[in-house]
Amino acid sequence: MRAKIVPRNQEDRVLARLENEHPHFLKCMLPSNVSHGFWLHLPINFCSVHLPNHDTSIVLVDEWGNEYKTSYLLGRHGLSAGWRGFSIAHRLLKRVKEMY
């Protein structure tokens, strides 16, 4: 499974284009997402509708085509292994909305 990551300054434009094209959500980054713990909880409804009902790998692809393999854990509705590398590489900041 692949997920497209969008830069913050392009959020509105991309959100309008994705409305019917791809499933997506907005997430406000918490300290546990980007500065310690490095765990990304995903919206439960999004997981139920769009993600597999088992643990699996998800590849995040940024706007430059760089790929980051993460682990999706069904029981936690979130991304683990690999998320830390992605968040550091993209200098994600707490309290900033990101679109996935």
**pLDDT per residue over 77-100, tens digit each?**
999 888 888 888 888 765 545 555
Comparing C-alpha atoms, which of 91, 67, 80 is closest to residue 8?
91
C-alpha dist (Å) from residue 72 to 14, 40, 42, 69, 96 = 24, 9, 10, 10, 22
The residue whose two tokens read 């292994």 is: 81
Comparing C-alpha atoms, which of 21, 22, 19, 35 is closest to residue 96?
35
Structure-model confidence comparison of residues 8 and 43, the more confident one: 43
0.75 surpassed by pTM: no
**pLDDT per residue over 32-67, tens digit each?**
777 766 788 899 999 999 999 999 999 988 878 889
**Can you tell me whether residue 41 is helix, strand or coil?**
strand
